A and B are shown apart, each in its own frame.
Chain A
Amino acid sequence: MPSFPRMVAIVGYGAYIPFYRIKVEDIARIWGENPKSISNGLGIFEKSVPSIDEDTATIAVEAARRAIKTTKIDAKDIGAIYVGSESHPYAVKPTATIVAEAINATPYMTAADYEFACKAGTAAIQNCMALVKSGMIKYGMAIGSDVAQAAPGDALEYTAAAGGAAYIVGKEGIAEINETVSFTTDTPDFWRREGQPYPGHGERFTGEPAYYRHIKNAANLLMEKMGTKPSDYDYAVFHQPNGKFPRRVAKMLGFSKEQIENGLLCPVIGNTYSGSMLMGLAATLDIAKPGDRIIAVSFGSGAGSDAFDITVTDAIEKYERQNVRKMIEKKKYIDYSIYMKFRGEF
């Protein structure tokens, strides 16, 4: 039985992906790599690229506005806004206040920015859950949004993408969050030092001791606590640094291809970092039916995983869903030089 009484739910969600895409083959051509082996190796075909005037704050605002629009709640009832990202536009000055102002939720509320590599957005959900459960706030908004950086020529360049998702957490809504657990250790698999434009990483070290270890432990801990097994879930969503890792960890844990396929967005949008698992969950909620059970596990380098056990409620039938998959199809391809222009490399 869940130790966490059922009193916290996802009230609504909104996702945003930039309009531009670059294909793996365009990046591979610059560096003399074989695009087919990159695509096969990473399980990715193209990635989203933020326009020259988009950043973590603009993506977070668009996602937040969609969440507000679809839930039809009064933004003034939101008591807390937390934005998780590893690419906040300012080193000091919150992104969360920009979002709060842009959705007209200010001033009687609290706000802060979170940073935990790719899992800062799910850490924000956990905090909103705690605040709702304690009765401190009516609604909380948790956002994961990123415009990921990658050094030109680095393997990360094929996957580092942009996107975000916002979740409104309250007492009741379209999906109950039955339980959440985390698994956290000090594992330096990926980092970016203060003032540095690009992250560094431990290459193969990012796999077994980092991604796989944390996701597996968090997922197993959650299932143990809930008394569930992989077949009890209709859908599973894992953090998606590339198209390969989530498929492999699903297999290791005993989840089928069908359970993960719809929420697996990385092959067509890349790794949206703090937005990654949250966008996959949004695409899953887009098609979920009342009673469906979802397991969602994030991963943040450094390292940690947050796992969520979610049950979709009847309220989802009346909820105006956004269709993340359809939004992704609205796109325009750019070449490597326009990509460099958008990234401000000139």
Chain B
Amino acid sequence: MAVPRYWREIPARYNLIGNKCTVCGNIYFPPRAICPICRRKSFGKMVDYKLKGTGVVESYTIIHVPPPHFEGEEPYIMALIKLDEGPYITAQIVDCDEKDVHIGMRVKATFRRIMDDGEKGAIYYGYKFIKE
């Protein structure tokens, strides 16, 4: 990952800052430039919105063959989580046995190391989820 791209996304990755369309009230994560429902009416009307970081597992999978940056961490759980404010988020579930994860499980966000650009590169931090 390029450092500037990661740096731009720090508010979302560290603190789950999404945004809200003040026209229809929908909340988005990651933040969107415009609301896909209100379209041009939402120009200039999207405001930052901090998500609480709590939600429920809607679906999940166990990764046994990870992409290169995650090699050595397998097996790990990737889940589709419906946050309490509405948006869906894809994230790892950690500190949880693969046999314990289930649909409907309540989870909350935690701060973890996501990946790095090798031993000499930058380290990227962000959200993962643990059992609530």
Seen from chain A, the residues whose Cβ lies within 8 Å of a Cβ on chain B are: 19-20, 51-55, 57-58, 61-62, 65, 89-90, 98, 101-102, 104, 332, 341, 344, 346
Contact, CB under 8 Å: A98 / B72: no
A72 → chain B closest CB, angstroms:
16
User: Of B94, B114, B125, which is within 8 A of A51 by CB?
Assistant: B94
Q: Which residue of B lies closest to A62 (CB)?
A: B111
Known: A51-B95, A54-B113, A62-B110. A102 touches B123 (CB 8 A): no
Alpha-carbon distance A344/B73, docked complex (angstroms): 9
Contact, CB under 8 Å: B128 / A53: yes
A214 → chain B closest CB, angstroms:
34
Q: Which residue of B lies closest to A99 (CB)?
A: B111
Contact, CB under 8 Å: A98 / B125: yes
Instruction: Write the B11-36 contact mask toward A (1 if CB under 8 angstroms, else 0).
Output: 00011000000000000000000000
Contact, CB under 8 Å: B72 / A341: yes
User: Of A58, A332, A341, which is within 8 A of B113 by CB?
Assistant: A58
Alpha-carbon distance A344/B128, docked complex (angstroms): 19
Q: Which residue of B lies closest to A90 (CB)?
A: B123
Q: Which residue of A lies closest to B115 (CB)?
A: A53
Which chain A positions have C-beta within 8 A of B14? 101-102
Which chain B positions have C-beta within 8 A of A52? 72-73
User: Of B92, B94, B110, B125, which is within 8 A of A57 by CB?
Assistant: B125
Contact, CB under 8 Å: B111 / A55: no
Provide a sorted-by-A list of 6 A–B residue pairs whose CB atoms are within 8 angstroms. A19-B130, A52-B73, A53-B92, A57-B123, A58-B113, A102-B111
B17 → chain A closest CB, angstroms:
9
Contact, CB under 8 Å: A58 / B72: no
A165 → chain B closest CB, angstroms:
16
Q: Does B102 contact A (CB under 8 A)?
A: no
Shortest beta-carbon contacts, A-B, top 5: A19-B95, A53-B112, A61-B111, A53-B113, A102-B14
A196 → chain B closest CB, angstroms:
15
- Give me 14 other A-B pairs in contact (C-beta within 8 A), A57-B123, A61-B125 excluded: A20-B95, A52-B72, A52-B73, A53-B73, A53-B114, A55-B123, A58-B125, A89-B113, A89-B123, A90-B123, A98-B125, A101-B10, A102-B15, A332-B95
Judged by DSSP, the binding face of B is strand
B108 → chain A closest CB, angstroms:
11
Seen from chain B, the residues whose Cβ lies within 8 Å of a Cβ on chain A are: 10, 14-15, 72-73, 92, 94-95, 97, 110-114, 123, 125, 128, 130
Which chain A positions have C-beta within 8 A of B97? 332
Q: Which residue of A lies closest to B97 (CB)?
A: A332
Known: A53-B94, A89-B123, A346-B72. A58 touches B112 (CB 8 A): yes
Which chain A positions have C-beta within 8 A of B111? 58, 61-62, 65, 102
Alpha-carbon distance A52/B128, docked complex (angstroms): 13
A225 → chain B closest CB, angstroms:
40
Alpha-carbon distance A102/B95, docked complex (angstroms): 21
Contact, CB under 8 Å: B94 / A344: no
A18 → chain B closest CB, angstroms:
8
Which chain B positions have C-beta within 8 A of A344? 72
Interface centre among B110, B114, B130 (most CB of A within 10 A): B110
Contact, CB under 8 Å: A54 / B112: yes
Q: Which residue of A lies closest to B116 (CB)?
A: A89
Alpha-carbon distance A341/B72, docked complex (angstroms): 8
Which chain B positions have C-beta within 8 A of A102? 14-15, 111, 125
Q: Which residue of B lies closest to A103 (CB)?
A: B15
A53 → chain B closest CB, angstroms:
4
Which chain B positions have C-beta within 8 A of A57? 113, 123, 125
Alpha-carbon distance A138/B42, docked complex (angstroms): 39
Interface centre among B94, B95, B111, B130 (most CB of A within 10 A): B111
Alpha-carbon distance A54/B110, docked complex (angstroms): 11
B36 → chain A closest CB, angstroms:
28
Q: Which residue of B lies closest to A331 (CB)?
A: B95
Which chain B positions have C-beta within 8 A of A51? 94-95, 112
